[in-house]
Chains A and B, each alone.
Chain A
Amino acid sequence: MAATRRVFTPTPSTRPQITGADLTILLIVAGLLALAVWLAQTAPTAVRGPDISLESTALPYYAMLSVGRMAAAYALSLLFTLLYGYIAAYNPRAERWMLPLLDVLQSVPILSFLPVVLLSLSAVLPERVAVELAAIVLIFTSQVWNMTFAWYQSLSTVPGELREASAMFRFSPWRRFTTTELPFGALSLIWNSMMSWAGGWFFLMAAEIFTLGDRDFRLAGLGAYLQTAADAGNIAAIGWGLLTLVVVIVALDQLIWRPLLAWADRFKLEQVERDAPTSSWFYELLQRAALPQLIGRLWAPVNGALDRMLIRDPAPIRTANPAPRRRSPLTWLFIVVTVALALGGALVGGRLLLQVPPAQWLNIALGVGATMLRVSAALVIALLWTVPVGVYIGTHPRAAAVLQPLVQIVASIPATALFPVLVLALLAAPGGLNLAAVLLMLLGTQWYLLFNVIAGATALPQDLRYTSDLLQLSGWMRWRVLILPALFPYLITGMITASGGAWNASIVAEYVVFGGETYATLGVGSQITSATAAGDYPGLLAATLTMVLTVVTINRLVWRRLYRLAETTYRMD
């Protein structure tokens, strides 16, 4: 059962305070953002979107385009992960700033960067290339952080004796990587890749349907197909589009991720055989086929050659007290460039921000409040239904066997793909866009919560359940003494991810171009998009920065504390 694992968010670090390093990093992020906005001022004022065919025969082609973007972004993420994690784990000096950077970046609402990235890229690159690249960059930034974190954590938790054995037996760096580090990190890397891949769909769909006034940034793909179909009110096309999306997602899961997991089962560190290994029909099929063995035979000499090339003598020593090394010129160059960028950005940004009139600041503050209300509403609704349902599924194995796969398929549909359909259905209703926005946030976030509740309920220790039965705890008492405290860490983990997702969703949910009309509602997400559409660059920077700051602050001040409480008081051990 895939969903019974608590792998839905990377472990946030437990420092609740905002430190100097965080502020520096936020400043650098803000500086880069300001530079991008400054660049965006020269972006073309009109962009023509692609023509989307609603023929169902066009669907395979669109699916291919969408999957291609995902694959490109994933490949980029994996490369980045391996390098960044390696450097952070083995270079203590780099680790000092690389970890806080990762920490800030993974709590920033990525979608808020989409308008800025799109505009600045289209200012310097041909339109189509810029839009493609922006989509890939966006997906990359949504996928990469938790993978990097997981890989870094694996590298820094390789058991000391395995590390020493690798040194004692004089492994070359390549052999150490392939024999010790990669196998040790494989399971966590694959789990996080699956998470990232699932999350990537959400951003891919958002990027494919993005339109701003006269600038149509849409990309030919499944997302744009669904949006065009909803625009035209073509129910059949919507159905075909959704079906294709589900088929693609399920097929990728069955043909790539499941087999990978089944294969990676050998990398479990426990020296005892415990729970049943992941099974995959496709993996079993592959094992019987000849092709993988052939590939293995072709790979062996390459592997051997790389290893021999890298054998060094004598092997490096691990010193207890590394003498402080002097910074290399390259490090200095890096520091100088970063500082210059941050300063330049701060200068440009400061000048832009000064142009924002006080009334607009007030408006942005109101927008943050409105979006926060929507996010909270979505979280509360999600909690209200996922906790009872999740506890039921988690404590009734027979129900779980039926419902779990179903829930997984439904959850795999990215909320953004459904959004055009939601808008089509709800625009006429009272509170139309408001309702649609909350619903979109709900759709994007409730599954994290549900899976975590199920995982928590499944992990309820049997002896505690027996004790509660013996004490005849029932009704509210049982929930208060047993179930809620036991669920608490899982709820917090789920809610951290859920709230991040809801903030992200506000960018596409609060401002919609539908059937040629623009609909907007009060909120910081709609302010970001409408400022972009109107070419109000100071407003764009102000709103984006405010949103980033708000989310990072909420993370630090609320979620971190709750997470620490969950880790200390409500831990089961």
Chain B
Amino acid sequence: MSASRTPALVEVRGVAQRYGHGDKRFTAVENINLSIREGEFVALLGPSGCGKSTLLRIITGLNEPSEGAVLYRGEPLRGVNPKATIVFQTFALFPWLTVEDNVAVALQARGVAPEPAHARAVELIDLVGLDGFEQAYPRELSGGMRQKVGIARALAVDPELLCLDEPFSALDVLSAETLRGEVLELWTGGQLQIRAVLMVSHNIEEAVFMADRIVVMDKGPGRIVAEVAVNLPHPRDRKSDAFAALVNRVYALLMGQTQPEEVEFGTEPGQAGKTRALPMAPVTALAGLLEHTNATPYERDEIAQLREDLGLNLDDLLPLVEAAELLGFARVEGGAMILTPLGEAFAEASILARKEIFATRLRRLPFFRWMLRMLQAAGDQALRWEVLLTALERDFPPEEAERQLDIASEWGRYAELFAYDDTEGVFFLEGREAATPAGAGER
């Protein structure tokens, strides 16, 4: 490839980020090798929790990696990279400063005197098309306009590396589309000093529409699983076959393939081997997905269509698909989700029959086998929330452990495997006498 001859602007070498100490040490991202060359627009894509935002913060120097190094123009990075800048997902504007002050403050922080800073700020505000809003406060602006301020502020420091952290995901569909076009225009126009763009995204179409190269990440632990070059000329036609083919290829990469059961299931919490994290899939949404897919079967390569029909974004859809896969309701092959006979039965079953099917499947999962065994072994067949949480914290980071217990509680209560008393904070087996469990009085 010709690109390999141009020098790398950023080089990430063997980077890992770990949190915690000793027993409770968890890996956010691991074994990351990546280079961004001059003139490149790179998109980082992956399910939520894969560490793409962490990687962006490591590349800009906001976070220091636990292992490995980031080289900028061949030099190891120390501290925040002065040549880089970030456009944030939630804009990160100072609500108490006007549009003009929000942009000028970036310049003044670098020692530019107030007058030239404000003059440059006005120019940039004009460039992003917000002329006339200089004295407005962010709260007066729509989401799209706020993000324009974010972009103007990022451009104010004449960055070489422009980092976009899911910049369009907090916007409505139409504003997002407009801003994508405008960012591309700024980038391809070439009047700016920007040498490369790095965009974190959870929207596959967006990444294929904008980037020259897509770096696909996966979670558990966060790592790079594939890189896809996008060699389509700008402006790209979303309706073209080449575009659709690329989108589906990336979908297939992200969704993976359904593995044999023992691989999918993982091991029980507290045992050797990898504990499978439960996907964050609400039961009602999962049932909805199965019903929809059952009513309108999709051919291969139509997962993009499914996402569009349901109006879900990727971060909501992927956990649902993963849950359907884990529970044996569907198989994923080559970017398509195919319902199993069990999945079809579930979609067509009555309210109570669905609970039966769900319970049967849950009993097979190591996570629930472990929970039920713990409950049966406990005196009074009841366990406090904190006890299970502490046990889970050996396998998951603290916040993740809490989320895992939350979703397990929802699934298990829906399936009537166990009940949970919120006032006392106690899980107990159904059919047990409702009595105060041992230890509950100590609070």
Contact = CB atoms under 8 A, between A and B. Distances in A.
A170 B82 contact: yes
A170 B110 contact: yes
Given A314-B82, A561-B443, A171 B109 contact: yes
B72 to A, nearest CB: 12
B62 A164 contact: yes
A268 interface: yes
A16 interface: yes
B35 interface: no
A319 interface: yes
Given A165-B86, A168-B85, A319-B63, A314 B109 contact: no
B137 interface: yes
A175 to B, nearest CB: 6
B78 interface: yes
Contact of B79 (A164, A175, A314, A561): A314
A302 to B, nearest CB: 13
Interface residues of A, number: 41
A161 B90 contact: yes
Nearest to A164: B62
B443 A317 contact: no
Contacts of B90: 159, 161
A317 B19 contact: no
Contacts of B85: 168-169
A317 B88 contact: no
A321 B66 contact: yes
A316 B61 CA distance: 9
A208 to B, nearest CB: 40
Interface stretch (B92-100, B276-284, B289-297, B335-343): B92-100
Contacts of A569: 422-423
A253 to B, nearest CB: 24
B106 interface: yes
Contact of A320 (B64, B95, B96, B114): B64
A308 B106 CA distance: 13
Contact of B108 (A266, A271, A307): A307
B63 A317 contact: yes
Contacts of A327: none
Contacts of A269: 95
A267 B95 contact: yes
Interface string A305-341: 0011001011111111100000000000000000000
A268 B157 CA distance: 27
The DSSP consensus for interface residues of chain B is: loop
B185 to A, nearest CB: 24
B31 interface: no
B18 interface: yes
B63 A168 contact: no
B102 to A, nearest CB: 10
Given A161-B89, A170-B110, A568-B422, A321 B79 contact: no
B79 A273 contact: no
A242 interface: no
A171 B57 CA distance: 17
Contacts of B66: 320-321
Interface string B1-38: 00000000000000001111100000010000000000
A456 to B, nearest CB: 21
Interface string B408-426: 0000000000000011000
A304 interface: yes
Interface string A160-194: 01101101111110010001100100000000000
Contacts of A561: 443
A159 B95 CA distance: 12
Given A169-B106, A270-B139, A271-B146, A320 B86 contact: no
Given A168-B85, A307-B108, A271 B95 contact: yes
Contact of B95 (A268, A300, A313): A268
A269 B146 CA distance: 14
A164 B57 contact: yes
Contact of A304 (B18, B28, B114, B157): B114
Contact of B17 (A170, A171, A317, A320): A320
Given A170-B80, A320-B19, A561-B443, A267 B96 contact: yes
A317 B112 CA distance: 23
A402 interface: no
A172 B106 CA distance: 11
28 contacts: A159-B90, A161-B88, A161-B92, A162-B94, A168-B60, A169-B157, A171-B109, A175-B105, A179-B105, A267-B95, A268-B95, A271-B95, A271-B139, A307-B109, A314-B61, A314-B78, A314-B79, A314-B80, A315-B80, A316-B79, A317-B64, A317-B78, A318-B62, A318-B63, A319-B63, A320-B18, A321-B20, A321-B21
Interface of A: 16, 159, 161-162, 164-165, 167-172, 175, 179-180, 183, 266-273, 300, 304, 307-308, 311, 313-321, 561, 568-569
